[in-house]
């Protein structure tokens, strides 16, 4: 299971850690550890899609381990957190007359969240 963990998509590392802890494994957090991801340049171009996939994976995690009710509760919390962010980004864009990249991501997340 651990050998193939790198093949898992989205928030699979959280899923894996959760299942390992349930199985009695001892998990360690090492804040000094560093990861170098050489694919970062291409991921910047797909930031919006990756952001949406992150939240899609989180909803899937809550649905898998907590049921539909917990997944709905998580989505409500995300909406509560992101409506003010969208409002702030909209105000910032209006005040500076410049586009705020996060505004589009927040808007799309809030639009697609019910379908996750």
Total structural domains in the chain? 1
pLDDT of residue 37: 65
- For every residue of 69-103, DSSP letters joined together read HHHHHHHHHHHHHHHHHHHHHHHHHHHHTS--HHH
pLDDT at 38 over 70: no
> How large is the average pLDDT for residues 101-113?
93
Q: Which domain holds residue 88?
A: 5-115
pLDDT of residue 100: 87
How many Cβ atoms from other residues are within 10 Å of residue 69's Cβ?
A: 10
Give the pLDDT confidence of 47-100 residue by residue, as tens digits.
888 889 989 999 999 999 999 999 999 999 999 999 999 999 999 999 998 888
């Amino acid at each position: 299971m651990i050998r193939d963990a790198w093949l898992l998509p989205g928030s699979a590392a959280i899923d894996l850690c959760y299942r390992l802890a349930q199985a009695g494994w001892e998990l360690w957090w090492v804040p000094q550890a560093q990861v170098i991801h050489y694919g970062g340049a291409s991921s910047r171009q797909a930031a919006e899609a990756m952001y949406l996939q992150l939240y899609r994976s989180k909803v899937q995690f809550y649905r898998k381990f907590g049921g539909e009710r917990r997944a709905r509760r998580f989505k409500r919390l995300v909406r509560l957190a992101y409506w003010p962010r969208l409002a702030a980004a909209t105000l910032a864009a209006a005040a500076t007359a410049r586009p705020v990249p996060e505004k589009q991501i927040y808007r799309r997340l809030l639009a697609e969240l019910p379908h996750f």
